[in-house]
Amino acid sequence: MQFSSHFKKILNLFLIFICGIFSLAAIAQKKPMDIHTQVLVIGGSASGITAGIQSARMGANTVVVESTPWLGGMLTSAGVGAFDGNHQLPSGLFGEFREQLYRTYGGPDKVATGWVSNTLFEPHVGDSIFKSMASKEKKLTVLYSYAFEKLIKTKDKIKGAYFIDTLTKHRLNIYAERIIDATELGDGLASAGLPYDLGMESSALTGEDVHVANSNDIIQDITYVGILKDYGKPQPLIERPKDYDSTEFDGSSTNFYRDFLRKKPGVDAQKMLDYGRMPNNKFMLNWPIYGNDIYLNIIEQSREEREKILVTAKQQTLRFVYFIQKDLQMRNLGLADDEFPTKDLLAFYPYHRESRRLKGLVRMNVKHISNPYTTKDALYRTGIAVGDYPIDHHHKKNTAAPQHLDFYPVPSFNIPLGALIPAQYSNFIVAEKSISVSNIVNGTTRLQPCVLQIGQAAGALAAISLRNKQAVQAVSVRKVQASLLDAGVYIMPFIDVPNNHPHFIAAQKIGAIGLLRGRGVPVGWANQTYFDPMMQVEGKLFLSIWNSYFPKYNSASDSLSIKEAIDLLGLLNKLSFEKNKSFIKGKWETWNFDFFDTARPVKKIELAAILNSYAPLFESCQVNHQGVQTYRLMPKQ
């Protein structure tokens, strides 16, 4: 009887074991889940979430698939809770997100806590805002913790993508009519087999004259961000990292400067930390000067290989944390325990400043920024996003990299739509940092406000392409721009006609046509372009542009008058001068203009409003991705 009981126990254990094996086999062999949607966004990065929101707002059923539990990419998952640039250009969804930050923290002054940016915030707060924005879109679905594997494609079409659950290893197949690559490193475009660049191009190749003698595969340094927190009392030292040597950080601040062969630091330890000071006594640890930048080029590695290599980047940051606690004696500081839900309390992944760069319909180089009106390709006419940050490259941790790149002083700029579009595949769009720009230009288009806008433009392009049943390459540039303008996006970087100005759209449209041009001013960390709305219109310059596209008009005046502006309107709408004069005079006060006198010189903002009153003008001036513009007179309204 005792043997029988013992035997039954063994038998039961054996049966449980067998059942377990079969259960695991069943899970492993479980068919992948299939999802069908209209727009698939690969990556819930900074551009990925804005692409998803804009696409959904424009009526497309959209799915965003993200590998982490968070949304926002570099702004949140990578820990860079700050905006570089665009403080006075609150364009589109970037502006909406920033406004939500202001409301959360209590106003702009509450997030002006550090000196790297006008706006700093805790990464988990940024994630919560993005999630809140996404939840309001009924046509948007966000899936978390699914890693991108590869695209589903045929010879001439991309049908969707394969993903794998990072926790359960279950497979997910998503089929879509339009696909947007919003990965951090351009993994989607690589899977598509699209041509791309990686690293630096020589000056001879780009014509940029920035003293890069030979093309190479060097990318910018990356940073594995940690968020420090002031706990108000001494904290235990973190575990001493392997191979720790305090001299690694010699020169990071004046509080630890021993090797005088190193460049003398310009800040003390507290100011070094205040660089990335966030609300609630937190500090973004993203310090490039003998700090936690590191050179690792993992872009062409597999996901598993990347994770192994990135242990080195994590150790770099942990050594810096240990240095701050021990050698700088800032013992009240420790890694924040209320930010990243990771074992080591570091960000989900590093701050990647560079990725693969698509060879798109157009390639934006630094001359398109420095001289937008005189370059061979007038790409400024095709703008879908704006930026004002200088060209900023991090190469301190790689001695093989040129350490003194010669950059043009640049004004603020816009980014062309064609930089998001490959020549191949009719349903594929590229976003994030992987758009078609030179390596030098990536030093400014990579920054957070630009990338948020790039995503929004990608979402708009996908939605319009679907609605019109067109290949992404065939979608009208003007239709994309018009949809973005309706969403408060700047397509021209005019700082003095903000998107809450009553004539914002008029200035943007007439500026994008090229009839009224901006005045660029390079000023360093916040470059500018002025529309000069109250300036009189220079007649000869304006008419030299006008007569290139529109019915000819001649004037001997140095300054264009209001009468002549009304004459120009008549050439567009085919109405008499008196009818147009009556119409414009009736609008004058509602437009908030004063002193209506047809004999006086017209101001730029007044001329923009007058010309834009002919509603079809913007659409009539069609432009291709290379910036070549044609005008077709519309039928009488």
Asked whether 537 and 557 are in contact (CB, 8 A), the reply is: no
Which DSSP symbol is given to 499? T
Asked whether 537 and 552 are in contact (CB, 8 A), the reply is: no
pLDDT on residue 8: 42
pLDDT on residue 210: 84
* CA pair distance 409, 84, nearest whole angstrom: 17
Higher pLDDT, 120 or 555: 120
Which DSSP symbol is given to 346? B
Mean pLDDT for the chain overall? 93
Residue 116 burial by CB count (10 A; 0-12/13-18/19+): exposed, middle or buried? Answer: middle
Domain span(s) for CATH 3.50.50.60 in the chain: 34-109+118-201+354-382+406-486
pLDDT on residue 22: 35
Provide the total of helices (H) and of strands (E) in the chain, helices listed first.
18, 21
- pLDDT surpassing 80 at residue 24: no
Neighbouring-strand partners of residue 230: 333
Which DSSP symbol is given to 231? -
pLDDT digits (tens, 9 = 90+) for 452-505: 999 999 999 999 999 999 999 999 999 999 999 999 999 999 999 999 999 999
pLDDT on residue 212: 87
Asked whether 151 and 158 are in contact (CB, 8 A), the reply is: yes
pLDDT band at 161 (very low <50, low <70, confident <90, very high): very high
Within 8 A by CB and 6+ apart from 566, the residues are 577, 580, 581, 584, 598, 610
Q: Across residues 70-96, what is the average pLDDT?
A: 98
Place of tokens 């002919």: 614
pLDDT on residue 84: 96
Q: Is 493 helix (H, G, I), strand (E, B) or coil?
A: coil
pLDDT digits (tens, 9 = 90+) for 202-236: 999 999 988 888 999 999 999 999 999 999 999 99
Q: Is 244 helix (H, G, I), strand (E, B) or coil?
A: coil
* CA pair distance 357, 185, nearest whole angstrom: 9
pLDDT on residue 406: 66
Which DSSP symbol is given to 634? P
pLDDT on residue 30: 64
* CA pair distance 160, 169, nearest whole angstrom: 19
Q: What are phi and psi of 302, to 5 degrees?
A: -75, 170
Residue 27 burial by CB count (10 A; 0-12/13-18/19+): exposed, middle or buried? Answer: exposed
Q: What is the pTM for the complete model shown?
A: 0.94
- pLDDT surpassing 90 at residue 128: yes
pLDDT on residue 634: 58
CATH architecture label of 34-109+118-201+354-382+406-486:
3-Layer(bba) Sandwich (3.50)
Q: Across residues 165-183, what is the average pLDDT?
A: 97
Residue 399 burial by CB count (10 A; 0-12/13-18/19+): exposed, middle or buried? Answer: exposed
* CA pair distance 272, 606, nearest whole angstrom: 48
Q: How far is CA 399 from CA 217, 327, 409, 429, in A?
A: 14, 26, 25, 35
pLDDT band at 155 (very low <50, low <70, confident <90, very high): confident
- pLDDT surpassing 70 at residue 14: no
* CA pair distance 345, 168, nearest whole angstrom: 22
pLDDT digits (tens, 9 = 90+) for 344-386: 999 999 999 999 999 999 999 999 999 999 999 999 999 999 9
Q: Across residues 519-524, what is the average pLDDT?
A: 95
Q: How far is CA 406 from CA 366, 392, 413, in A?
A: 11, 11, 19
pLDDT digits (tens, 9 = 90+) for 412-433: 999 999 999 999 999 999 999 9
Q: What percent of the chain has pLDDT above 90? A: 90
Parallel/antiparallel/unpaired status of strands 293-294 and 222-223: antiparallel
pLDDT on residue 402: 82
Q: What is the CA radius of gyration of the chain?
A: 28
pLDDT on residue 633: 67
Comparing CA positions, the residue from 551, 561, 619, 614 lying closest to residue 587 is: 614
Within 8 A by CB and 6+ apart from 576, the residues are 570
* CA pair distance 507, 606, nearest whole angstrom: 9
- pLDDT surpassing 50 at residue 18: no
